[in-house]
Amino acid sequence: MGINIQIMKTNYSLEEDNYKRAKKKVNRIKGFYRHLLVFICVNTVITAVHVVNNMWNGASFVNAIWDMQTFFTWIPWGIGLLIHGICALDFVSVFMGKNWEDRKMKELMGKEYKNSTMNWE
């Protein structure tokens, strides 16, 4: 009877851990999409203001758009957004192979289990 209770607790614990990991992953992805939306909105407004200001000062539309200051916020913020996207959308795991995260977690959990059983002996 004691073994069944232990197995049930372990299964519940695994399901709960999987749920928490999935929820955390969904929140990271949601945060990235929010960041992307703010990036597009803010940079569009900044670009529009900059282009209108350049045109007001006598620049042609093409020259106003291709002024380097127009891209001043797009480039560095875009690099940060790219890094955020790589982390949030798990592109790192694509480079590390299929199921890398699961294999690494099993490996670490195995080490943890060995360490905890050695302490009791």
**Residue 117 forms part of a structural domain:** no
Which pLDDT score, from 0 to 100, does residue 71 have? Answer: 83
pLDDT band at residue 40, thresholds of 50, 70 and 90?
A: very high
**Residue 114 forms part of a structural domain:** no
**Residue 27 forms part of a structural domain:** yes
Which pLDDT score, from 0 to 100, does residue 69 have? Answer: 81
Domain span at residue 9? 2-89
Q: Tell whether the model's pLDDT for residue 120 goes beyond 70.
A: no
Task: Show the tokens assigned to 33.
Answer: 């999409």
**Residue 79 forms part of a structural domain:** yes
**Residue 113 forms part of a structural domain:** no
**Residue 97 forms part of a structural domain:** no
Please choose, from the candidates 2, 54, 33, the residue with its C-alpha nearest in 3D space to the C-alpha of residue 10: 2
Number of domains in the chain: 1
- Average pLDDT (6-22) is 71
DSSP-based helix, strand, coil % in the chain, nearest 5 = 85, 0, 15
**Residue 82 forms part of a structural domain:** yes
- Average pLDDT (64-76) is 85
**Residue 45 forms part of a structural domain:** yes
pTM for the predicted model, two decimal places: 0.63
Q: Tell whether the model's pLDDT for residue 77 goes beyond 80.
A: yes
